[in-house]
Chains A and B, each alone.
Chain A
Amino acid sequence: MTVRKNQSALTRTEKRRFVDALLELKRSGRYDEFVTTHNGFIMSDTDQGERVGHRSPSFLPWHRRFLIDFERQLQEVDPEVALPYWDWTVDRTPSASLWADDFLGGSGRPGDGKVMSGRFAEASGAWEINIRVDQRPYLRRALGTGARQLPTRAEVDAVLAMPVYDASPWNSASTSFRNHLEGWRGANLHNRVHVWVGGQMTTGVSPNDPVFWLHHAFVDKLWADWQARHPDSGYLPTTRTRNVVSLHDTMRPWNDVTPADMLDHTPYYTFDA
């Protein structure tokens, strides 16, 4: 059974095996397929048109399925690996162990933002950025530059207190738990973390930075936490709604999975806390 742990609690061996599995997916080309998929959706999900992966109710179930697929790929490399999650309300500085050289490596250097340390640095030769929006082939970060502070626990708790999953107009203008967690409204949670990391994380090809998976594993956990706090609230909309994925509609690109199928994560993994 897969148990997703807080990244700060991983042993050195667990970190090494997770990174080893990432590098193997990168080497084989499978990693970049996930980057391509994400970018395709982020560029086509619009407030005024059809939207599946972002700025819409299915933001959470879409990314849940996306992470499950990715975790399965990791486990084909190493069955003992699970996605860790990054609780950015706690580990909120560039000096956190998350960014140490034995895990994801550090921030980028001043100027071009090139990551210079750790196994994802260009010098390692193992992490070329192939799916990109500009010509630079190396991982970049600017930790804490684009956004001064990561979201706080109090900001997260305020969003978790929102009782309605989502609401019309079902996009980045909605007043709802989903939209406040995604960050287009209110305290600016998920989106702000992308900006805080900087580099590829601010772009449509954000999965190029392996921290993408740890960030989204925590966003996914917050959805589960919200469900536990609001047992009488469910996914919305439940009926066919123009341009968005309702409870029993299938989601692209899989076309065989609905939000309803993703409401319970426990058949796939559990959390350590």
Chain B
Amino acid sequence: MSAGTFAGLAVAATAAVNATAAKAAPSERQGSQGSGLEAFDEVYQGRRIQGAPTRGAGSHGGHGGGHGSGHGGGHGGQAHDFGYAVHLDGDELHIMRNADGTWISVVNHYETFATPRQLARAAVTELHGADLVPLVLTSA
């Protein structure tokens, strides 16, 4: 969305972007859901970000059924596996894929990103060194 903005914010954050990260971005292409998306594993602004396709429903780290509890009927057990998972220093980043193929995360929920890697990098910048809170959804 606004790479320049994130780059600007990043100046104050940490040391220069890891060389691996710097050369990886331009060639990224998004594929269809659940396939065609490549895995990545890099250090960005000092944080390890990893993305990889998931193997299908149920492999998405245990927050499927949790969404429904407390919200009333009709929602229990609905898994949200978008065919891909992103981790930041080992913690799962909650992500979603939009109908047009773009991505959002719980850290940047109101702007879209073309690829999970861009989404992960934006989260790193926004977190400014802070750790994610484990995904636990409580009753509404």
Q: Is the CB of B98 within 8 A of A184?
A: yes
Q: CA A57 – CA B26 in complex, angstroms?
A: 36
The answer to whether A171 has its CB under 8 Å from any CB of chain B is: yes
Q: Is the CB of A253 within 8 A of B71?
A: yes
The verdict on A44 contacting B78 (CB below 8 Å), with A111-B13, A191-B110, A202-B107 known, is: yes
Q: Is the CB of B9 within 8 A of A37?
A: no
Q: Is the CB of B73 within 8 A of A255?
A: yes
Binds B, one of A18-26, A85-93, A127-135, A262-270: A127-135
Q: Indicate with 1 or 0, residue by residue over B66-86, a CB within 8 angstroms of chain A CB atoms.
A: 011011111100101000000
The answer to whether B127 has its CB under 8 Å from any CB of chain A is: yes
Instruction: For A134, give its contact among B67, B73, B130, B140 (CB under 8 Å).
Output: B130
The verdict on A111 contacting B140 (CB below 8 Å), with A44-B67, A50-B78, A253-B70 known, is: no
The verdict on A136 contacting B130 (CB below 8 Å), with A44-B75, A44-B80, A202-B111 known, is: yes
Specify the chain B residue showing the minimal Cβ separation from A47.
Answer: B99
Q: Across the interface, which residues of A come within 8 angstroms of B139, CB to CB?
A: 36
Q: Across the interface, which residues of B come within 8 angstroms of A49, CB to CB?
A: 78, 80
Contact residues, B1-24 vs A (CB, 8 A): 2, 5, 8-9, 12-13
Instruction: For B111, give its contact among A46, A171, A191, A206 (CB under 8 Å).
Output: A191
Instruction: For B71, give its contact among A40, A46, A146, A171 (CB under 8 Å).
Output: A40
Q: Across the interface, which residues of A come within 8 angstroms of B13, CB to CB?
A: 111
Q: Across the interface, which residues of A come within 8 angstroms of B8, CB to CB?
A: 145
Q: Across the interface, which residues of B come within 8 angstroms of A255, CB to CB?
A: 72-73
Q: Is the CB of B138 within 8 A of A36?
A: yes
- Kindly provide the distance from the CB of B124 to the nearest chain A CB, expressed in whole angstroms: 11
Q: CA A254 – CA B73 in complex, angstroms?
A: 10
The answer to whether A260 has its CB under 8 Å from any CB of chain B is: no
Q: Is the CB of A195 within 8 A of B110?
A: yes
Number of residues of chain B lying within 8 A (CB) of chain A: 40
Number of contact residues on A: which range applies?
35 or more
- Kindly provide the distance from the CB of B3 to the nearest chain A CB, expressed in whole angstroms: 12
The verdict on A146 contacting B5 (CB below 8 Å), with A47-B99, A133-B107, A133-B132 known, is: yes
Q: Indicate with 1 or 0, residue by residue over B55-75, a CB within 8 angstroms of chain A CB atoms.
A: 000000000000110111111
The answer to whether A252 has its CB under 8 Å from any CB of chain B is: yes
Q: Across the interface, which residues of B come within 8 angstroms of A133, CB to CB?
A: 94, 106-107, 132-133
The answer to whether B108 has its CB under 8 Å from any CB of chain A is: yes
Q: Is the CB of A173 within 8 A of B99?
A: yes
Contact residues, B98-119 vs A (CB, 8 A): 98-100, 106-112
Q: Is the CB of A111 within 8 A of B73?
A: no
Most buried by A among B71, B74, B107: B71
The answer to whether B28 has its CB under 8 Å from any CB of chain A is: no
Q: Across the interface, which residues of B come within 8 angstroms of A173, CB to CB?
A: 98-100
Q: CA A147 – CA B112 in complex, angstroms?
A: 13
Q: Is the CB of A253 within 8 A of B72?
A: yes
Q: CA A112 – CA B96 in complex, angstroms?
A: 26
Q: Is the CB of B138 within 8 A of A204?
A: no
- Kindly provide the distance from the CB of A240 to the nearest chain B CB, expressed in whole angstroms: 13
Q: Across the interface, which residues of B come within 8 angstroms of A110, CB to CB?
A: 12
Q: Is the CB of A47 within 8 A of B98?
A: yes
Q: Is the CB of A203 within 8 A of B73?
A: no
Q: CA A172 – CA B101 in complex, angstroms?
A: 11
Specify the chain A residue showing the minimal Cβ separation from B9.
Answer: A145
Q: Which 7 A-B pairs have the closest CB atoms?
A: A173-B99, A194-B110, A44-B67, A191-B110, A47-B99, A37-B140, A134-B130
7 pairs, CB–CB < 8 Å, chain A vs chain B: A41-B140, A43-B106, A145-B8, A190-B110, A194-B109, A195-B111, A254-B72
